[in-house]
Structure 1
Amino acid sequence: MTRTALYTGSFDPVTNGHLDVVRHACRFVDRLVIAIGVHPAKAPIFTAQERSEMLEAVCGPIAQEEGTELLVVTFDDLAVQAARRHGATIVIRGLRDGTDFDYEMQMAAMNQTMAPEVQTVFLPASPLVRPITATLVRQVAAMGGDISSFVPAHVAELLSRKFRPN
């Protein structure tokens, strides 16, 4: 039986925190589906295609090293619907702190009610990546700050292009 997990997020941009979650998730699943949430009300800095390419570039080697099949998709419905569509029985959620925990527990309870066959698994962030959020990375990058310790080098280069003065 293939153990398939779904890891959702906006990934705008992909951070070292996301990679930490992927690394840990790949250690206990056979197949990891990274699902990029696409919502018309949000205005991301990277297109869904750009985020997909970023994820494949930086997460692909991690999955390959762990012997895990990786699939990157987009979704615009409920996470549990995306999980069912991709045969995932696990939803992966990363936790940085108590605030994340409170919010994620509420989401897990809602998801369990809607899809009892899908189990949420929380993965605590490693200490070095706990303070990293995509929002803060975007803010620092937009103001010309050094983001090299928060994102993979490939992503840092893409961000510098997005925020380069014309």
Structure 2
Amino acid sequence: MSDCKKRDNQSTYKKAIYSGTFDPITNGHMDIVCRATNIFDEVIIAVAKSELKKPMFSHEQRVAFAKAATKHLKGVRVIGFDTLLVDLATDLNINTIIRGLRAVSDFEYELQMGYANSSINKKIETLYLMPTLENAFVSSTIVREIIRFNGKFEHLIPSEVLECM
């Protein structure tokens, strides 16, 4: 018999939060969102303001890009935020954070963040999802660099985002 105990506030309706700067949202992000919608009834994409990262696109643009990219997905909601993710999750009564892992290099940082979040709120669980091999190399950083040098990036972001740009 397992010592596993059901956590408080668990119900049959499952919600998760997927956060990031999404500068811009990419096909890799969408891959993770789609996988998460197969697991959860509601996935909230939380677009971080992240002024310290000096994003290429404004917070409003990034929220608009995420809304456009996910408008066809049932059970997905997009919000902007400028707080600790753990506080936002608590405010929204969510105890699962989704994070994407593309490579081993992502793992160390994401593991530290997961532990930090759990140290703040013990009810928080982090679920790590991997994109398909096709999207494993896609990152906002790569897309921004290609954009800066006027390269071809259209195949790396959702077509709805291109329309917004």
By the TM > 0.5 criterion, same fold? yes
Structure 2 residue 160 is matched with structure 1 residue 154: yes
Normalized against structure 1, the TM-score is what? 0.87
- Structure 1 runs (4+) greater than 6 angstroms displaced: none
Aligned equivalents of 2:119 and 2:58: distance in 1? Answer: 32
**Does the Cα contact within 8 Å between 1:39 and 1:76 map onto a contact in 2?**
yes
**Does the Cα contact within 8 Å between 2:17 and 2:43 map onto a contact in 1?**
yes
| Among candidates 62, 66, 71, match of residue 51 of structure 1 | 62
Q: Which amino acid aligns with 1:45?
A: M
Q: CA deviation at 1:145?
A: 0.8
Q: CA deviation at 1:60?
A: 2.3
**Does the Cα contact within 8 Å between 1:92 and 1:121 map onto a contact in 2?**
yes
Aligned equivalents of 1:6 and 1:154: distance in 2? Answer: 22
Q: What is the SS of the residue equivalent to 1:19? A: helix
User: Which segments of 5 or more consecutive residues in structure 2 lack a partner in the other structure?
Assistant: 1-10
- Listed as ranges, the matches of 1:1-166 within 5 Å are 1=11, 2-61=13-72, 63-64=73-74, 68=75, 70-159=76-165
Calculate percent identity across the aligned residue pairs.
31
Normalized against structure 2, the TM-score is what? 0.87
Aligned equivalents of 1:88 and 1:27: distance in 2? Answer: 17
**Does the Cα contact within 8 Å between 1:33 and 1:86 map onto a contact in 2?**
no
Aligned-residue RMSD, C-alpha: 1.4
Q: CA deviation at 1:6?
A: 0.7
Aligned equivalents of 1:33 and 1:158: distance in 2? Answer: 21
Aligned equivalents of 1:42 and 1:97: distance in 2? Answer: 21
Aligned equivalents of 1:19 and 1:32: distance in 2? Answer: 12
Q: CA deviation at 1:157?
A: 4.6
Q: CA deviation at 1:40?
A: 3.1
